[in-house]
Amino acid sequence: NGSCFPRFLIEDVTALINVGVLKDHDLAGVSLGMKNWYGAIHNPNKCHADQCAPFIPHLSAFPLIHDKLRLTVIDAVTGQCHAGPGAAPKWAWRYQGVLASVDPVALDAVSCGIIEDRRREVGLPSLAQEKRAPRWIADAGALGLGEADLAKIRVADV
């Protein structure tokens, strides 16, 4: 789609720590760690078709990102389970957590599960029922970027 990366990412940065937030996204389903890379390109508006698939996994796989990524952190102090990505206080809740992993796919899968759990708690349909399930998480797993299967992910509380 003709995206460009900033020069500092190409020439100066040797390691990346990605910090996203726990939130719903009207087009992508959720906006977590991998979707956060849209901030690293100059035209993310062109990468939202087809629920951001395959754009999110392909951007995450790009060597400038994939080869330099060391850690992904999700700010989950306050999450938003619906009406994102803009602020919607009605759908925000105090999760009071910080999530982190060296596996960006596993982290997004777990974070998406947290959002889905909250949606159930407040009586919202699932993202799949709203036809905006973030299938790009499974696509990222299929590309070998990390583990997308929740049954294979070990979560540790620290």
pLDDT digits (tens, 9 = 90+) for 59-106: 999 999 999 999 999 999 999 999 999 999 999 999 999 999 999 999
Strand order in the sheet with 16-25: 29-31, 16-25, 69-80, 92-101
For residue 95, give the amino acid letter: Y
pLDDT digits (tens, 9 = 90+) for 126-158: 999 999 999 999 999 999 999 999 999 999 999
Query: Which is nearest to 32 in space by CA: 7, 57, 49, 68?
Result: 57
CA pair distance 81, 90, nearest whole angstrom: 9
